[in-house]
Amino acid sequence: DAGVTQSPTHLIKTRGQHVTLRCSPISGHKSVSWYQQVLGQGPQFIFQYYEKEERGRGNFPDRFSARQFPNYSSELNVNALLLGDSALYLCASTPSPTVNSPLHFGNGTRLTVT
Amino acid sequence: AQKITQTQPGMFVQEKEAVTLDCTYDTSDQSYGLFWYKQPSSGEMIFLIYQGSYDEQNATEGRYSLNFQKARKSANLVISASQLGDSAMYFCAMSQISSGSARQLTFGSGTQLTVLP
């Protein structure tokens, strides 16, 4: 079975530009979450979607937005990129957003902002 | 606020020996989950083991076991018979339902494990 897939794997953008990252969850998983991992730190929660509705967002500015499509895939959008947005962006899926269900992560998209 | 503390930035272990990676957590919730993930240099986050706050027995998954001490709020990972392929960053994480019913993981800062031949 295919795991969580993310695209692209690497991306280089310039300050002020916009970026869209894509994620396909494991088949049958209806919940998708996004995390940002800055070099040398643990991942930080950005968004969670379940059944196409936003369930919550972490402490990130409004430049970050996301959506989930009818097939449960998801996009993360970041506007007006800053140098500090350079990070590994991880997408994770789970069958349901219960506290005991492990998140299954993709390989991530490594974003570099110059 | 939820917090995960991993006090060992780096650890070394000899191949075939056991190693314990420390994790303490802070929460006022009664229901939560504790997870350990492995992150090789390639970047993927690999789920290793889970412990629920109401589970009375320590979780085990193959060579991985979780030493759960609820009163001390600790959830240490024990890797037995270390292998060279175990060299990676290890993250402890806590799962809770936050406001708006979002389920999120709070991660620690990680421990870089190096297995020596």
Residue A1 has pLDDT above 70, yes or no: no
Query: What is the reported pLDDT for A96?
Result: 77
Task: Assign B69 a pLDDT band (cuts: 50, 70, 90).
Answer: very high
Does A59 contact chain B (CB < 8 Å)? no
Maximal C-alpha separation, chain A: 39
Rounded to whole angstroms, what are the CA distances from A77 to A23, A49, B82, B84? 12, 14, 40, 38
Beta bridge partners of A66: A76
Does A31 contact chain B (CB < 8 Å)? yes
**Chain segment A36-72, per-residue pLDDT in tens:** 999 989 999 999 998 888 888 899 999 999 999 999 9
**B44–A103: do the CB atoms touch at under 8 Å?**
no
For residue B93, the tally of other CB atoms under 10 A from its CB is 26
